[in-house]
Amino acid sequence: MSGRGPLAGVRVLELPNIGPIQFAGMVLSDLGAEVLRVDRVADVTGETFVSPYAVLDRGRRSVAVDLKHERGPETVLRLVEAADVLIEGMRPGVAERLGVGPESCRARNPGLVYGRMTGWGQDGPLAHDPGHDINYIALAGVLHHIGPAGGPPVPPINLLGDFGGGGLLLALGVVSALLERERSGVGQVVDTAMVDGAALLMSIFYGLDAMGFWSEDRGTNLLDGGAHFYGAYETSDGKWVSIASYEPKFYAELVRVLELDLPLDQQMDKEQWPALKERLAAIFRTRTRDEWVEFFDGHEVCFAPVLTMKEAQAHPHNVARDVFVDVEGAPHPAAAPRFDRTPGAISRSPVAPGADSDSALTDWGFGADEVAELRADGAIA
């Protein structure tokens, strides 16, 4: 492990799951924590390394444990004794039934921070229902407000539920609980629900709605594409550019450089927005995206081209800041945020389930004979 980053010295167990838990584990690892994935024996293929494109699996070692084997839960509890954090993403009650719930784990290690990730939360009428990102952000009042005027709600890929309101909020909760443990000496359970996190991300809009400053009609508001000065416009080559000339000084510059001859004091006149959007759309269709990049260079109008993921990797700004790094030929977003004294880093390439069972268990307190016995019994692979 790299030993770098502000979380260096923190040990994290990541129980098997997908998506949000993987993302939280990756973030904690990037920030310096030693994260050990506890994968399923059933997922062991005999391979050691997997594709370096498996970005969410980077930075961690893996031990494969059969939690349904009579010795599986005890193996995890032994690991808990040497851990600071455990994160899991099972449905409510599943970890308890497997023998690795909060009570069992904290009986072994009272200082353990036990991070839980679900869609609906540990309680409530929907707690045991299945679901995915789109369902959670729908119930949180998020999805309704994303999409064009007169059109259907548009899923913003699975960023807001799984990764923003889920994995990232879990990582924040874990770090907060670790900080509190420095004062109390005792761990606690962090209940992270994606519906909670998605609602939290909507805080400003719930405030605007309560004040009567937000319409429930999609695509008609200031920040949802309704305003002519805040949105995306298609260019002559079928690509797109983004404009965010919200503040009066930026709007004045946009009006000036595009020679729009508009009264600046009517910027917030919502009745004019649809017609002005059509007018700007016609203007932006007169040049290619790259021609608009050149046109706006040096003008403070809050402009950026809309890039694909491949284009983003090659953009000079992202290249200069090393926003993307190469991991065995695969492009990975770099560790973030950045620290001046203890920078985070990607400590290793993704590995296959069970690739490090021997070395990881030994490093976490198991004897070589114990590891061999567990393998022979089928509790690990």
Compute how many other C-beta atoms are within 10 angstroms of the C-beta atom of residue 195.
25
CB 24 within 8 A of CB 170: yes
Distance CA 36, CA 15 (A): 9
Q: Is 84 a catalytic residue?
A: no
Q: In this structure, what DSSP letter does residue 90 have?
A: P
3-state SS, one letter per residue, for 38-81: EECHHHCCCCCECCCCCHHHCCCEEEEECCCCCCHHHHHHHHHH
Query: Which SS3 state, helix, strand or coil, does residue 36 take?
Result: strand
Active-site pick, 132, 209, 358, 363: 132
Q: Is 132 a catalytic residue?
A: yes
Structure tokens at 183: 């004062």
Contacts of 324 (CB under 8 A, 6+ apart): 312, 313, 318, 331, 332, 333, 334
Q: In this structure, what DSSP letter does residue 159 have?
A: I
**Region for 141 from its dihedrals, namely left if φ exceeds 0, alpha if ψ lies in -120 to 50, beta otherwise:** left
Distance CA 271, CA 121 (A): 42
Query: Which SS3 state, helix, strand or coil, does residue 95 take?
Result: helix
Active-site pick, 39, 133, 162, 356: 162
**Pairing mode of beta strands 189-193, 113-118:** parallel
Distance CA 82, CA 111 (A): 10
| Residues belonging to the active site | 132, 162
